[in-house]
Amino acid sequence: MKRLIAEREKARLGGGEKRIEAQHSKGKFTARERIDMLLDEGSFEEYDMFVTHRTSDFELDKELYLSDGVITGHGTIDGRTVYIFSQDFTVLGGSLSETNALKICKIMDQAMKVGAPLIGINDSGGARIQEGVRSLAGYASIFQRNIMASGVIPQISAIFGPCAGGAVYSPALTDFILMSDKTSCMFVTGPKVVKTVTGETISDEDLGGASMHATKSGVTHFVGADEKESILLIRKLLSYLPQNNLEEPPVSVCDDPADRIDENLNTIIPEKPSIPYDVKDIIHSIADNGEFLEVQRQYARNIVIGFVTFNGISTGIVANQPNYLAGCLDINASRKSARFVRFCDAFNIPIVTLVDVPGFLPGSAQEFDGIITNGAKLIFAYGEATVPKITVILRKAYGGAYCVMSSKQLRGDVNYAWPTAEIAVMGPRGAIEVLYNRELKKLSNDEERARFVADNASEYREKFSNPYEAAKYGYIDDIIEPRNTRFRIIRALQTLSTKKDSNPPKKHSTLPL
Ligand code: HXC
């Protein structure tokens, strides 16, 4: 008994007091402190506390630490089981050894058997250099498990320190990445290698800090101001997710009336079609208690994605954002939303799509970078998804972008339009310029041409810039009053809760990656 108490105490000290102090002085918590903050109090059950590495090369046998630089086990968050590993930077820089990888793989295997989410807290110098290929093999074993777990259990990666080299690919294979601002970084090759190979001088933060990944690469889905905020974000995110792909997402208690009407919505769309507005105002208005957990908030801001509840039902939101690039679909927006739609579909989370899209972003930059292949990802994701899909066309649904945004023909279950909806092949000005090309050429000056376009645009607008033409063909199930949107969505979600749909049997699709 005495020995057990002594050994446990030793294990809890990780790499020792000095290194713990160094960790704290960087504004970081230790691996164990992070677990304590994340899990319900007293719920953590640790595995493999007494594991040590098996290497004597480079005199590593003189540096033996109980737990070997990673803390693993399971606990609960809001009473629901999660599996967790947390890398301990105080032990050999949290570097991944053969035994360290075995510990992580053990809890990954168990998370899969139990059907519970996996959370990885990363804070590591990467592969343990002294162990060579054995540590690389350890990473590959983790990757393989990440892949098998994908779409079966939710996988969340928190980055609370360095995450470099091939080590970044385990988080990259998981569903959500969350970085703590200023104290974390992720890159495949660090600043030193970049300098040697390309001559470029760049700091850790600029190359792979949270801010860069939130705005430029889109690699991280969330950024917490510090570790405490990041941990709260993980708990919040999990509240929207089921334990695994065979379960329904949790239904929360809702005190916001399902039939709450918001008169403001009747006038939220500006009179002039070219004036933008913030689609997030609409999301906050219709969601339970105005709460919205936005995903990738700073990346591809022309599309907004995230989680809400409707009368307690966990739901994914995809919404074009007229406030940014007029809500055009471009490569980044397509990839961002396609991935989100596939996540929701994999985990039985219904999708509500709010449409106001003037089309795909034109331009050589987009074409050169493959808007064709990337735009196809979003079409594919929507068309493949079998979860309940509800669409509300708020204003513009032009061209291919109409088809993409969960249209009836991509198996949209309930497709509504506001009276302000404009559903057409293209906007009135562009359409007149194509349709009356010959007549326009005959006109002698810009003024006359502008008048001609304006005169004919009104006829076009009357015919197509409204939802009635689409409703006539049944492509829109109903035209709804904006103020009733919350109630109509909730009723549709309740009706669709028993929906069953499937795809033909196949090994897997050939999604245009
Ligand atoms: C063994 C390591 C280590 C590693 C750090 N340490 N990284 N030990 N293997 N990979 C040890 C250090 O020797 C040191 O030991 C302690 O951890 C803390 O490291 P410091 O350098 O003092 O800390 P800091 O200044 O904060 O710098 C952190 C760091 C730096 C940026 C992570 O340590 C670093 O650059 N490490 C190497 C990163 C790297 O290139 N790794 C390989 C990536 S490739 P003492 O005893 O002094 O406390 C990779 C391949 C994966 O991982 C492949 C997957 C397919």
Q: Is the shortest distance between the CB of 286 and ligand 1 below 6 Å?
A: no
Rg (CA), the chain: 26
The average pLDDT across 436-441 equals: 88
| pLDDT tens-place string over residues 179-229 | 999 999 999 999 998 999 999 999 999 999 999 999 999 999 999 999 999
Q: Is the shortest distance between the CB of 91 and ligand 1 below 6 Å?
A: no
400 among known catalytic residues: yes
Atom 32 of ligand 1 has which residue's CA nearest to it?
125
Percent of the chain with pLDDT over 70: 100
Write down the pLDDT at residue 223.
98
The average pLDDT across 417-426 equals: 93
401 among known catalytic residues: yes
Quote the CA–CA distance of 207 and 185 in Å, as a whole number.
Answer: 8
Lowest pLDDT segment from 143-157, 232-246, 451-465, 482-496: 451-465
- What is the band of 274 on the pLDDT scale with cuts at 50, 70, 90? confident
Assigned CATH topology for domain 2-238: 2-enoyl-CoA Hydratase; Chain A, domain 1 (3.90.226)
Tokens 């219904």 locate to 350
Quote the CA–CA distance of 347 and 249 in Å, as a whole number.
Answer: 8
The average pLDDT across 14-34 equals: 97
User: Are 344 and 350 a contacting pair, CB within 8 Å?
Assistant: yes
DSSP of 430-445: HHHHHHTHHHHHH--S
Write down the pLDDT at residue 487.
98
Q: Which amino acid is at 497?
A: S
- What is the band of 456 on the pLDDT scale with cuts at 50, 70, 90? confident
Q: Is the shortest distance between the CB of 92 and ligand 1 below 6 Å?
A: yes
- What is the band of 357 on the pLDDT scale with cuts at 50, 70, 90? very high
Quote the CA–CA distance of 125 and 135 in Å, as a whole number.
Answer: 12
Assigned CATH topology for domain 263-421+466-498: 2-enoyl-CoA Hydratase; Chain A, domain 1 (3.90.226)
User: Are 49 and 8 a contacting pair, CB within 8 Å?
Assistant: yes
Write down the pLDDT at residue 453.
86
* Choice from 95, 146, 168, 183 to test ligand 1 binding pocket (greatest atom count within 8 A of CB): 95
Å from CA of 45 to ligand 1 middle: 28
The average pLDDT across 401-427 equals: 95
| pLDDT tens-place string over residues 373-404 | 999 999 999 999 999 999 999 999 999 999 99
Phi, psi (deg, nearest 5) at residue 444:
-85, -30
Quote the CA–CA distance of 289 and 491 in Å, as a whole number.
Answer: 17
First to last CA, the chain: 56
- What is the band of 427 on the pLDDT scale with cuts at 50, 70, 90? confident
- Nearest residue to 423 (alpha-carbon basis) of 383, 379, 476: 476
Quote the CA–CA distance of 363 and 15 in Å, as a whole number.
Answer: 55
Percent of the chain with pLDDT over 90: 89
The residues, ordered by sequence, that sit 6+ positions from 70 with a Cβ below 8 Å of its Cβ are: 31, 85, 86, 87, 88, 94, 96, 100, 103, 104
The residues, ordered by sequence, that sit 6+ positions from 121 with a Cβ below 8 Å of its Cβ are: 31, 34, 35, 38, 84, 85, 86, 87, 158, 160
**Continuous H helices in 216-330:** 227-238, 279-286
* Choice from 25, 91, 128, 129 to test ligand 1 binding pocket (greatest atom count within 8 A of CB): 129
Atom 36 of ligand 1 has which residue's CA nearest to it?
125
- What is the band of 465 on the pLDDT scale with cuts at 50, 70, 90? confident
DSSP of 34-98: HHHHHSPTT--EEE-TT------GGGGGG---TTTTEEEEEEEETTEEEEEEEE-TTTGGG-B-H
Write down the pLDDT at residue 337.
98
Q: What angle do CA 78, 75, 153 make, to 5 degrees?
A: 80
Helix axis angle, 31-38 relative to 227-238, nearest 10°?
A: 40
Residue 450 has pLDDT above 90, yes or no: no
Q: How far is CA 99 from the centre of its chain?
A: 32
- Nearest residue to 14 (alpha-carbon basis) of 128, 91, 78: 91
* Annotated active-site residue in 300, 401, 417, 421: 401
Strands (DSSP E) along 369-497, which ranges? 389-398, 414-417, 422-424, 478-479
Structure tokens at 460: 């076009």
Q: Is the shortest distance between the CB of 128 and ligand 1 below 6 Å?
A: yes
Considering the chain, tell me which residue range(s) the CATH 3.90.226.10 domain(s) occupy: 2-238, 263-421+466-498
Q: Is the shortest distance between the CB of 96 and ligand 1 below 6 Å?
A: no
- What is the band of 16 on the pLDDT scale with cuts at 50, 70, 90? very high
Quote the CA–CA distance of 324 and 77 in Å, as a whole number.
Answer: 36
* Annotated active-site residue in 115, 190, 312, 400: 400
306 among known catalytic residues: no
User: Are 459 and 398 a contacting pair, CB within 8 Å?
Assistant: no
Q: Is the shortest distance between the CB of 139 and ligand 1 below 6 Å?
A: yes
* Annotated active-site residue in 22, 137, 151, 166: 166
Q: What is the pTM assigned to this prediction?
A: 0.95
Quote the CA–CA distance of 422 and 424 in Å, as a whole number.
Answer: 6
| pLDDT tens-place string over residues 76-130 | 999 999 999 999 999 999 999 999 999 999 999 999 999 999 999 999 999 999 9
Lowest pLDDT segment from 141-155, 196-210, 356-370, 439-453: 439-453
Lowest pLDDT segment from 29-33, 136-140, 459-463: 459-463
Residue 459 has pLDDT above 90, yes or no: no
Atom 24 of ligand 1 has which residue's CA nearest to it?
93
Residue 444 has pLDDT above 90, yes or no: no
Q: Tell me what the pLDDT averaged over the chain comes to.
A: 96
The average pLDDT across 247-259 equals: 96
Write down the pLDDT at residue 457.
84
